[in-house]
Amino acid sequence: MPTIKLTRPKLNVGEKIYFGALIKGFFLTMMHAVKSLRGKSYGAEGLASSGLGVTMQFPEQRWDDHMPEYYRGAPTLVTDEQGRERCVSCQLCEFICPPKAIKIIPSEIPSDDKWAKVEKRPFEFDIDMTRCIYCGMCEEVCPEQAIYLRKDYLITGTSRAEMVHDKKKLYEIGGVRVGLVNKWNELK
């Protein structure tokens, strides 16, 4: 391995006693203090500041409206415009999930069901939110566009069991997504 020799920067006397830097820091702090008192903190508007500085008064105030489109919150399951659950339990998300947060038990759709042509759907679909790292790989890997990371970020619970989102809860948060997959149409 090549050795790289680093030379320390040459400091003059003023820099060596570092008193000047302290004063400089002090004035910087005071400048921001004055700015915040005048309500002119940098970025206060963008972060929806509700008082001094950039602090938002959570939970009375939320930054939900300020979240970007690409925000990755809780993973959820979605239904399509006809009310069909999009997930066919191919288990690719379970496979790709880095912290192994997803557990799926597949089942067959009975032949008298409206969507019997799809043949397969999840019997159980659990996402353990204590494990989820919001990486979005499940959304990316899904061949049926059935799993989406929504903007929900307040995932709380009083027990570990409560932190596991089951199929019902996932559809409840997920809601409906329109378009994209129509290959299970009778004509297709």
Partner 1 sequence: MSDTSPATAELKLPKDIAAEKGMVNVQIDGIWHQFPKGTRMIEACRKAKVDVPYYCYHPKLTVPGNCRMCLIQMGMPPRLAPGQDPTYDENGYQTIGWMPRPAISCANSIAENMGIRTTGELVEKCREGVMEFLLINHPLDCPICDQAGECRLQEQSVGFGRGVSRFVDMKVKKPKNVDIGPRIRLDDERCIMCSRCIRFMDEVAGDPVLGFTQRGTHTTLTVHPGRLLDNNYSLNTADICPVGALTSNDFRFQMRVWFLKETPSIDVNCGTGTNIVIHTRGDTIHRITPRQNDEVNSNWMPDSHRLNFHYIDGDSRLTDVLIKEDATHRPAAWPEAIAKTAEALSQFDPSKIAIIASARMTNEELFLVRALAGELKTDQFATVPREGENDGLLIAADRNPNTTGAKLVWNSSDPSASLSAIREGVRNGSIKALLVLGEDLTAEAGFTTEDLAKPEFIASVQLLAGATAEASDVVLPGAAFTEKRGSMVNLTGRLQRLNRAVEPQGQCRDDWEILRDLAAAVSGNKPDIFLIEDLFKKVAASTPAFEGLTLSKIGHLGTVVTETGYQIPLLTNERARAAAGIING
Cβ burial, residue 153 (10 Å; 0-12/13-18/19+): middle
φ, ψ for residue 107, nearest 5 deg? -150, 165
Cα(22)–Cα(19) distance, rounded to whole angstroms?
5
Question: By CB under 8 A, which span of 16-24, 49-57, 102-110, 168-176 interacts with partner 1?
Answer: 102-110
Instruction: Find where tokens 């008192």 sit.
Output: 37
Question: By CB under 8 A, which span of 12-20, 57-65, 74-82, 83-91 interacts with partner 1?
Answer: 83-91
CB 139 within 8 A of CB 92: no
Residue type, 123: F
Q: Is 158 in the site for partner 1 (CB under 8 A)?
A: no
Q: Is 92 in the site for partner 1 (CB under 8 A)?
A: yes
CB 184 within 8 A of CB 114: no
Query: Strand 102-108 and strand 120-128: pairing?
Result: antiparallel
Total chain residues near partner 1 (CB under 8 A):
21
Residue type, 42: Y
Cα(106)–Cα(146) distance, rounded to whole angstroms?
15
Q: Is 144 in the site for partner 1 (CB under 8 A)?
A: yes
Q: Is 111 in the site for partner 1 (CB under 8 A)?
A: yes
Q: Is 90 in the site for partner 1 (CB under 8 A)?
A: yes
Q: Is 118 in the site for partner 1 (CB under 8 A)?
A: yes
CB of 99 to partner 1, least distance (A): 16
Judged by beta carbon, residue 82 or residue 107, the one nearer partner 1 is: 107
Q: Is 112 in the site for partner 1 (CB under 8 A)?
A: no
Question: By CB under 8 A, which span of 4-12, 48-56, 75-83, 180-188 interacts with partner 1?
Answer: 180-188
Q: Is 103 in the site for partner 1 (CB under 8 A)?
A: no
165 CA to centre of own chain: 15
Q: Is 55 in the site for partner 1 (CB under 8 A)?
A: no
Positions that interact with partner 1 (CB under 8 A)? 88-92, 94-95, 106-108, 111, 116-120, 143-144, 183, 187-188
